[in-house]
Amino acid sequence: MGFSQTNNVGINTCEPAQKLHIAGSESTFRIEMLDSLNNLSNRNTVNAPLYVDENGVLTLEFDLLYNTEENDEIDGTLPSTNVYQINVDNVEQELITKEVTVTRPSYLEIKYSISFKVSLNDINEKITDQLARVIRNYILLNGNTDRKFGMTSKCYINSSLNGVNTTYYNNASTYIFLDIGTHIISFYGSVGSGSTTDSTFVNFGLDQDMLLMRIY
């Protein structure tokens, strides 16, 4: 171990160039508080990413901006969660919004899961017309429709009263670049059949819905 006149500490060197300088092309160091025995964030299966918190402390934990956890993200009883396609070939509707503020240019990671049920109308009659319906979910940044983030969809078709009419899920993840400032993240639902003569009623948020967001 070496020390310099500038109070730098060197390992394998007598001329440390930084406050702590570990010399050697194959040198390593070990922090036992981060191993799998002492840290629950180290799963002992693959290498874990290492982060630096606001105090400069090394950690394996990456703080989330938002996490639904055990709660339900979307209240399926709200009118905004009901999307009714009638006399048009497609309907798009805002379901929920989140506000995000960043003090530096950042990437926002979003993962979401949204439940829905498909019916002919708002009294939940089954669809039996064999016409395909496409149910989509996506995200808009600050209301800009030029780009839709995290687009995901499922197709529903049924021809029998004995057909399945249950709860489905759309799941997706995406990254959005954010400039400095406050941004509105809008989650949308849409339904389309390509026909203006057959109706479709989609209720989003009927089951457990999840949202996770974090900033890079």
| pLDDT above 80 (res 53) | no
Q: Which long-range contacts (CB under 8 A, 24 or more apart) does 55-64 make?
A: 58/31, 58/34, 60/34, 62/214, 63/214, 64/212, 64/213, 64/214
Is residue 4's pLDDT more than 60?
Answer: no
In one-letter notation, the amino acid at residue 26 is: E
Tell me what percent of the residues of the chain surpass a pLDDT of 70: 97
CB atoms within 10 A of CB 100: 19
Six token digits for residue 198? 């057959």
What domains, with CATH codes, occur in the chain?
Answer: 66-215 (2.60.120)
* Predicted confidence (pLDDT) at residue 207 exceeds the cutoff of 70: yes
* pLDDT of res. 5: 59
pTM of the predicted structure, to 2 decimals:
0.78
pLDDT digits (tens, 9 = 90+) for 128-160: 999 999 999 999 999 999 999 999 999 999 999
Residue pLDDT, tens place only, 80-117: 999 999 999 999 999 999 999 999 999 999 999 999 99
Hey, what are 16's tokens?
């440390």
Report residue 104 as tokens: 């530096």
Which token pair is 10? Answer: 């060197």
Question: What DSSP string describes 26-84?
Answer: T-----GGGSTTT-TT--SSSPPP-EE-TTS-EES----SEE-TTS-SS-TTSGGGEEE
Q: Which residues are registered as beta bridge partners of 2?
A: 10
The pair of structure tokens assigned to 178 is 């954010």
- What's the rounded Cα separation, in Å, for the pair 70 and 64? 15
Residue 107 has a pLDDT of: 96
What would the two tokens of residue 75 be? Answer: 């209240």
